[in-house]
Structure 1
């Protein structure tokens, strides 16, 4: 019997768990995740604004695994030995696999900003999200670092919640070194900037260089006070791969080929934010990519276990994205096209 271990409860792995046949006797499936619950990042903004309840934003991995005949293990994988095919967890367990797949997401931190690690309100791993949002709700001055979709959407959702609850005197600040939504083009960037300002978001352009005490410093010689600061300036690699012999890209993400396999160990797979495709290095690290990788991962894991043909992942060139502006308003982007609705 082959053993396939899924590390992390991300989009691609959820697809695989749902496809497992409980009657299948040739493969033993194990899902290892640090939390029983997997939170859906696409609903983070709605939860922040108070639109969704906590239960609506999460999946019970243990129950899902039980219904599929997959073993669920609530652990954090600390290291991997791909030569011995061993995984070591935070509880000292050692798991042996024939095939392993990683879908563990990324982290919201940056070692490039002095002092950030000591003060950053980390929302990843995403099971930490609910308790951190409660802190933001109670915070009088919140500073978000980053000009991408995750940062500006969270800022807008938090501002909407505060306005609805009568906390109009609480400030929500976004510090960004490049134009907002720069990758969506100048037209969308200008439109989002106008929307953010109209909603009461404070925008400060500059690169954060240091965080000291309750003050944030930028390369524009600006000093901003804060009560809570949260870095959402793009995904950062999880430390797991950097401490292993698995090949990574220059930023520390697991390097995979078009079949979602490690470029050096074909029985090691990776999807979602934690991996970089050697063939498509600019592939966005977002939920859209991870969802589309799910069916390919399933086919390749089961195919590899059975000694059958595997298939390459072919990313789409453009994709539709809808961000929340708060108050049930949406900001739609498709390539360089954008539209405000609601």
Structure 2
């Protein structure tokens, strides 16, 4: 008996990708709550594990070793990811505010955003120093400084455990690079007050061995490009200044109306705030019934309690209290592969403690590197012939819009009779039709995409750009659009939320082009599908496929590779940073690029049939051939690596048959990779190509000259 998918009825939103929420996402993927739609909001596609930061600075770990890949983790959990920094929480309206998108509604929310720094308020800090968080910018600045030559001068502001770990790691890294260095730790009170006297003594001796000066009870007046000026008049040489002090809660929490303690969200033993539908954990929360210091170990142990209580608040199970331990093991890096361990006043240090710390850190990170392989639904024992072959061994591609192959589409279209109407002008191979309406030349096109991201806002933006591509490629100005929306089964409240997000985003994208949404149609199905039918007006002759000329240069306005990246993302194989970068390319409108390329002889947008397929379309319509300079073709980050590992989109083989004569290879295969919201491919006068590329670069497009048109039929690679 067929059982339809259970409807979605409740929204759970995780604000922040902290350690607790990362563990909740992992547990959710192993045991999701049917009917609940899960969302995680975070500024970046990954969340760094702070416990390994000193090891990275010292050179013991690579940069990527520190990252929890939230995009991959969210795919495992079946959650949508919203990449953005939260700027507000409204418990009364049950909304989260993220710049650049409609409010994110929730039934239950949880906050795990950590803390921020007030160091930039220090005079000169913003101009001449770099905070230790966020890790990305700090890592880049430190790598640049560390790789330099000559004597180094470094200062760390803040004498807590984080500060001393950081400066000892820097000292070790500079010593390993054989650079002489002056290193200074500065605190306006006394350093290392959060640990016992014995442990503090061991750390002070380790800093002395590394040549680190410790300045205590000293207020900083101002930071300059090469020194720090103290209140007592001393000037401390420092070219690289960072801060591991001055932690404070995010400012938007004060505007939330929730009960706070020193700016942090007050929570009870069940981790609930003063609003029972808002939870908070980690450093951004204050445990009112059992206060504890800000330490990652508490955040990690909160995860199973938070997971269970979130499910209970959504209707499954009962609430449980969180009982934090009275003390915890402190493991402190000492620069090299040596560490100090302290608990209950007992301290041990040396290489063995480093191995212990590394073992604990790696075990924690392996929870996210090696996600469990969840058992797929089994095929029924009895089934019709051909079902396994059609299903294949991987999920249906979303990055190609679940498009059927080129041969099937062309075969069906070729069987249709030519138009009888005098106001419908047939165009060979073009995706948009040309209509004559009251003397005006109007183009019309339609496109839709099966959802490959669970975020309706991002999916809408990508689909609209994708659909507009045919209008822009013909040199037309977008005029009007209707939307066709299919939603998965969900409650009326979630329907309203989702449709509101989709239509607000669609209106923003379409209106930005000068067009208007004039209507649409919606229905329910098994999964989300978004489509648009659009019209555009041509003031000049439309740019069609058949106008390419021998000697024309070929310009591509966007890199290729989105198909293989989306295929990998759906299979849980893609790096989240690659995925986020691919999305950034997909949502870039091509209207200004089309305006710059108005003089093109032929133009198309690169979508489901891949670069080779769409270039073959130009060649076939123009009765010519083309030479592709493979080295010049821009590709998205990660695409070549994924192609080399054998990742392919579902219609790759069908696309590959378009030009079987072309060589194989990791990059060459990307010529057949189906693209979503891809760039414009234009055949232009060769002499004009460099200037047009310069104009495109100035407008923000990563355009490149990728080949030329010749008179020998077929596609060739430049030798």
Name the TM-score, length of structure 2 as normaliser. 0.45
For 1:204 and 1:17, how far apart are their aligned partners in 2? 43
For 1:20 and 1:295, how far apart are their aligned partners in 2? 10
Once the two structures are TM-superposed, the CA of residue 23 in structure 1 deviates from its matched residue by 6.0
Select the residue among 261, 280, 289 that pairs with 1:279: 289
> Which aligned runs of 4 or more in structure 1 are off by greater than 6 angstroms?
none
Equivalent residues in 2 for 1:148-227, closer than 5 Å: 148-167=160-179, 169-214=180-225, 215-227=227-239
SS class of match (1:20): helix
Map of 1:92 onto structure 2: 101
Map of 1:235 onto structure 2: 247
For 1:273 and 1:259, how far apart are their aligned partners in 2? 16
Larger Rg: 2
Select the residue among 270, 295, 299 that pairs with 2:280: 270
Q: Summarize the Cα distance change of 1:191–1:24 in structure 2 as closer, same or farther, 3 Å threshold.
A: closer
Structure (1/2) with the larger helix percentage: 2
Aligned partners of 2:54 and 2:166 also within 8 Å: yes
Name the TM-score, length of structure 1 as normaliser. 0.92
Equivalent residues in 2 for 1:52-131, closer than 5 Å: 52-110=61-119, 113-131=122-140
Q: Does 1:13 align with 2:21?
A: yes
For 1:185 and 1:219, how far apart are their aligned partners in 2? 29
Map of 1:254 onto structure 2: 265
Once the two structures are TM-superposed, the CA of residue 159 in structure 1 deviates from its matched residue by 0.6
Q: Which has the higher contact order (CA 8 A, sep 6+)?
A: 1
Aligned partners of 2:119 and 2:246 also within 8 Å: no
Aligned partners of 2:39 and 2:80 also within 8 Å: yes
Once the two structures are TM-superposed, the CA of residue 265 in structure 1 deviates from its matched residue by 0.6
For 2:24 and 2:312, how far apart are their aligned partners in 1? 13
For 2:11 and 2:105, how far apart are their aligned partners in 1? 8
**1:180-239 deviations in Å (ceiling 9; x for gaps):** 321212222222111111111111112324224344343444332321222212532122
5+ unaligned residues in a row in structure 1: which ranges?
none
Aligned residue pair count:
338
Aligned partners of 1:7 and 1:102 also within 8 Å: yes
For 1:306 and 1:328, how far apart are their aligned partners in 2? 48
5+ unaligned residues in a row in structure 2: which ranges?
1-8, 352-719
Q: Summarize the Cα distance change of 1:115–1:335 in structure 2 as closer, same or farther, 3 Å threshold.
A: farther
Q: Does 1:320 align with 2:329?
A: yes
Aligned partners of 1:235 and 1:285 also within 8 Å: no
SS class of match (1:284): coil
For 1:128 and 1:106, how far apart are their aligned partners in 2? 17
SS class of match (2:260): coil
**1:279-303 deviations in Å (ceiling 9; x for gaps):** 233x121211110111111111111
Q: Summarize the Cα distance change of 1:145–1:56 in structure 2 as closer, same or farther, 3 Å threshold.
A: same
Once the two structures are TM-superposed, the CA of residue 336 in structure 1 deviates from its matched residue by 2.1
For 1:38 and 1:257, how far apart are their aligned partners in 2? 26
